[in-house]
Structure formats: C-alpha cells, structure tokens
Amino acid sequence: MATEPKNYVDYETALKHFDVVFGIEVHIELSTKTKLFCSAPNAFGAEPNTLISPVSLGLPGALPVLNEKAVEYAIKLGLALNAKINKKSYFARKNYYYPDLTKNYQTSQSDEPTIGEGHLDLQISDTEMFRIDIERAHLEEDAGKNTHVGGAEGRIFGAQYSLVDYNRAGVPLIEIVTKPVFGAGENAPEIIAKYVRELRDIARTLEISDARMERGNVRADINISLSPKGSGKLGIRSETKNVNSFRSIEAAAHYEIIRHASILLEGETVTQETRHWHEATSSTTSGREKSNADDYRYFPEPNLVPVVISDEWIDQIRAEMPELPAHKRARLTKEWGFSPKDMQDVLNADALALVEMTVTHGTSAHNAKKWWLGELSRIAKEASLSLTDLAITPENVAEIQKLIDDGKVNDKIARKIITDVIAGKGTVAEIVANENLEIVSDDSALKKFVQEALAEQPDVAEKLRNGNMQPIGVIIGIVMKKSQGKADAKKVREIILAEK
C-alpha cells in the first residue's frame, strides 16, 4: 500500500490507463436565524463562545428541539435537486470523540434522511449536459471550531494545545451526497467544480445559505478512485476534505487523479484514507487511514421525534420556489443577446448577480458586463477582493453608465468616478458635483479651447485647412488638456472641423 508514488505521471498518461470515478459530499451551512436544535443565534464573526445555549454546549439535561425553518430549507433544496422528499425521516447520533463536538456525538441523519435520491444536470458545453445522480441529502449540526496553537501554520501536528469556540456548534448543515459518478473522463475535475458551483448557486437562489465559500458556508469533500480502463471495477478511494474554492476543487481532483494513477502504475495499491489539500503547494498530503476508523455506531436519537412531511407542505414550498439558476442562465443569455461564451465569462467571474442587478438599474447587459468583467474585476483583483466585496453597488455602476450615455462624462472620467466611489469619497452625484467632473459640453468654452489650440499650432492648423486630417489628434489632445480631460472628444473633433 502506498500513499505517495515514487514518480508522478502526467495527466494524459493517467487518463490513458484509467477511468475516473468520483463522489462528492457537499456541506452547506443554512442561513437560518438560529441553530438546528436550539434558539442560539446562527451568526458569523461574533466573540468566541457567545452564541451558545446549554444545547449547543451539550450540557447534561439540555434537550434539542428541531428548527422548522431548517426542514423547510431542506425541502426547498430537495425540490431543486429533483429529489424524493421522504415522508418520514429520523435523526440519529453519529458517535465519535473530538473536542469540537460537545456531546461526543453529532446529531445527524442515518438511513432515513429527509431528502432521498435526486439528480442535477450540468451544462458542460453549448450542447452537452452531464447528469450527477444524488444519493441523499441529510440535515445535521455543524461542530465547533478548533484553533490549534503551537504547531506550524496552525496545523494540528506539533500543536501544544487547541482552543475551542462553540459558536458554530449546532449551526444547521445540509450534506448532499452523490452516487459514484462514472464517465466524466478527463473533464472530471472541471465537472466536480462545476457541480459544487451549481449547488452554491442553487443555495443562494433559494436563499437557504449565504453560500460564501471563503467563510466555509459551502465545503466539499471529494472522493476519487481510479479503475483500469474499461474494467468497470471500483478502485480504492481517497477523500480530500474541506476544499473551499472552485479553483482548489478542480486542482485537488486533478492532483488526486495523477497521484492515484502514479501509484497504480508503479504496481502499488492506493491506501484508503483522507487527504488534506494545501493551497500553497497545490498538493494533498496524507490524513488518516479510513479502513476501520469509521465505526460511528449510529443509533436513533431518542430526544427527537420523527419528521413527517405532508404533500401540502411540499406543495406550498413548491409554489414559492424561485427560478433556478440553470433556467435563469438560459433565459438571460437569450434576453441579453449573449453568446454562450459571454455568459460563461460572466459566470467564471462570479458576476451574474451583479450584472443582472446593473441591468435592472437600466444599463445594457453589454455595458454591465464590460464594467464588471473589465475595470471592476481589475480593481478587485488588485485589492484581492471578490467583486461583491467592492464598495460599489450595481446601482452606482448603472448611474455612472447613464452619465456616459447622456454624454455628461467620458469613459476616462467614468473610471475616475468608480475609483472615487470605491475609495469612499461619496455618492456618484456628489463626486461629479464636488470635483466638477461633468464633461465640458458648453460649446462656447470648447470653441475657445479649439481656437487657442489652433493658434498655438499654426503648422497643424495649416495642414487641417489643406484637408490633411492626420494631425487632428494633436489639437484634440491640447483641448483635452485645457479642459482637464473633461471634454467629449467627439464633440471637440466636430468643432475643429468647423473652426479650422
């Protein structure tokens, strides 16, 4: 058995010899106001151990009571995943010892989860769909958060002690488990990332989670195994835990495929284990062996009664379902006159909601895309922020574009306004007024600048008069300078032609 190969083959070689089989477990933290089994707040970023109750601390005698909203959210997600909503489901105790778990068991669901089999279809090219079959989705509570102190870079190994904050303990999670997925071939890493992204988008659309990857609202565990090409046999799997960006998900799957193939081609057997992803080195390292450690001794939770879901409840939720992301993308692509690539670019930039809201505020889709994928992406990248974290709203962007459309500012000034809004210098209107940024469109002022420029450049003026338009840029440049960049170049050109 081996955890690391002696040499790594390349991706193509791996795919030439093996079929990839994968399974994905995604945990989504629900955005209910309170926890799954008690009324302590479900919130991010509070002082440690302040969002807790006797139930979240697992104090003796504290009894759980199920949050109805969490069940409603599970049903919503189940409907979005074309899944069977089980009429009757139960909670169970999953027993294991770890300091982030106050009761020494996690309250979860075992053989009768709330959501049963379903599927999600992913668009993998303009014409092709790929179906991911879902095994189940169950409700469970999140654990607390350990901070390991004393080890290298906060890692557990070599840590002297750990500090535990139970604010997250009891936060509702839905874990969505796929069936083993075959036939993705070389696109497996991309499809895995796409699947997690689609779940993220669905969770956001349903408003059941903030679904922020960087906050761990969505966490993916990726199971990979390889089987000899065409054999149809399931290989031994590894499970890469808690990879929390789409890019890392793709990279981790890619890495694991290569690692497995390399071990197998050396005639070794892959060790069944968990793996940990490291962003810095783009590689995984061995976690713990999984063979017999998973003895969780599930048993029914005696303090919680069965959840019974009526058809009426399901129908009521179904009636309130919003438009799902896949449908919306198809509709907007058409409405906006986008090519599939245009839409893909917007999606890759995670800018669909921003572009859509900008369009709602009156900007054309083309211009909205231009700002968010151009200037604003550049600024965000420079500041290492995501687009949504920029201190500018789609409404602001729409206002600025309107100033351009109305001929009140030019493109260059618009960029300056954007920078100023983000720098917190005020609203768009304030910035335009305070800094006197509106374009000089007063004909007499521009005319004066043009006359001055022509007088300063008699040679150029002469050429223009003789019909040689080539040096017209020189005059435009001087006028722009005189107007401090606020002149509309097109208008200046018209005036020069009249005044030469």
Partner 1 sequence: MEKAETNFSVQKVKHLADLARIEFSEQELDELTSELNVISDAINKVQEVANDDVERTTHPFALENVFRKDAVGETLEQKSALAAAPKQKDGMFLVPQILAED
Residues found near partner 1 in the complex (CB under 8 A)? 32-34, 38-41, 47-54, 57, 65-71, 88, 90, 95, 97-99, 146-148, 156-157, 159-166, 241, 274, 276, 287-288, 295, 297, 300-302, 304-308
> By C-beta, is 145 or 447 nearer to partner 1?
145
Q: How far is the CB of 143 from partner 1 (least distance, A)?
A: 10
* In contact, 263 and 5? CB cutoff 8 Å: yes
Q: How far is the CB of 132 from partner 1 (least distance, A)?
A: 25
With CA atoms as reference, report the closest residue to 171 among 293, 318, 46.
46
Q: How far is the CB of 252 from partner 1 (least distance, A)?
A: 16
Q: Supply the DSSP symbol for 389.
A: G
Three-state DSSP at 83 gives coil
With CA atoms as reference, report the closest residue to 18 among 182, 131, 247, 128.
182
With CA atoms as reference, report the closest residue to 162 among 145, 175, 178.
145
Q: How far is the CB of 108 from partner 1 (least distance, A)?
A: 14
**Measured between alpha carbons, how far is 300 from 286 in angstroms, rounded to an integer?**
33
> By C-beta, is 46 or 445 nearer to partner 1?
46
Residue 112, φ and ψ in degrees, nearest 5:
-130, 70
* In contact, 202 and 73? CB cutoff 8 Å: no
Q: Residue 59 CA to chain centroid, in angstroms?
A: 36
Q: How far is the CB of 334 from partner 1 (least distance, A)?
A: 37
In the structure encoding, which two tokens stand for residue 48, read together? 């440690």
> By C-beta, is 172 or 394 nearer to partner 1?
172
> By C-beta, is 66 or 122 nearer to partner 1?
66
User: Which amino acid is located at 473 in the chain?
Assistant: G
Q: How far is the CB of 411 from partner 1 (least distance, A)?
A: 48
Q: How far is the CB of 314 from partner 1 (least distance, A)?
A: 14
Q: How far is the CB of 351 from partner 1 (least distance, A)?
A: 31
Q: How far is the CB of 81 from partner 1 (least distance, A)?
A: 22
> By C-beta, is 97 or 281 nearer to partner 1?
97
Q: Supply the DSSP symbol for 127.
A: S
Exposure letters 23-39 (e unless 16+ CB within 10 A, then b): bbbbbbbbbbebbbbbe
Q: How far is the CB of 308 from partner 1 (least distance, A)?
A: 5
One-character DSSP codes across 20-51: EEEEEEEEEE---SB-SSS-SB--SSPPTT-S
**Measured between alpha carbons, how far is 409 from 365 in angstroms, rounded to an integer?**
20
Instruction: Spell out the residues 6+ positions from residue 43 whose beta carbon is closer than 8 angstroms to its own.
Output: 51, 167
> By C-beta, is 125 or 286 nearer to partner 1?
286
> By C-beta, is 164 or 404 nearer to partner 1?
164
> By C-beta, is 159 or 379 nearer to partner 1?
159
> By C-beta, is 55 or 343 nearer to partner 1?
55
One-character DSSP codes across 436-482: T-S-B--HHHHHHHHHHHHHH-HHHHHHHHTT--TTHHHHHHHHHHH
> By C-beta, is 48 or 485 nearer to partner 1?
48
**Measured between alpha carbons, how far is 192 from 174 in angstroms, rounded to an integer?**
18
**Measured between alpha carbons, how far is 497 from 78 in angstroms, rounded to an integer?**
67
Beta bridge partners of 220: 26, 243
Instruction: Spell out the residues 6+ positions from residue 442 whose beta carbon is closer than 8 angstroms to its own.
Output: none
Q: How far is the CB of 198 from partner 1 (least distance, A)?
A: 26
Residue 295 neighbours by CB distance under 10 Å: 8
> By C-beta, is 198 or 273 nearer to partner 1?
273
